[in-house]
Amino acid sequence: MTLAFVVCAYLLGSVSFAVLMSKAFALPDPRTYGSQNPGATNVLRSGKKSAAALTLLGDAAKGTVAVLLAQYYAPEDYTMIAAVALAVFLGHLFPIFLRFKGGKGVATALGVLLALNVWLGLACLATWLLVAMVFRLSSLSALLAALATPFYAFLFGLPREYLLVSGVLSLLLIWRHKANIQNLLAGKESKIGSKKK
């Protein structure tokens, strides 16, 4: 059962709402402009806020749904739940439907964390929002929220499996933002909502 859940979670994670919403709103493929990242922040650069919002909700929802289903069918199997959480996240990063070139995973990670523990998810979201309001840099917000995630998981006394998977998700998020880190250090990172050719 664990393998089936993990495979289904990966396939669900592979569904790119950035691409789907761009097609639905007759927008350019998000992989062809801006950061070329199929995610909500890049879709926002198209100028269509509704498409970006739906992308954000869809990418977060797939993370939440996968973990909630695992918790429903195996509420005490923390190892399987953590495996499903990682699988849906990896599906977003390396989607089979997009030749394994996916998004950076911020929204999906948030959806996963909210399902693992709502307070953990809210703490990470609050961190992201605070940094975003002050600096208007999505990547910096994501990086600081990612760094804080394992510490929040520890402070909330979550199962060690949840603590471990939150740490892995954080490391993967930071790795996926390596280009953004270089831009931040060079002072070239785009602000939230800016349009980029």
Q: What is the pTM of this model?
A: 0.93
**Cα(158)–Cα(61) distance, rounded to whole angstroms?**
22
pLDDT one-digit tens code per residue, 19-49:
999 999 999 999 998 888 899 988 988 888 9
pLDDT one-digit tens code per residue, 95-105:
999 999 999 99
Phi, psi of 96 (to 5 degrees): -65, -30
Per residue in 96-109, is it b (16+ CB within 10 Å) or e — as a string? eebeeebbbbbbbb
Q: Which helix (H) or strand (E) holds 170?
A: helix 160-176
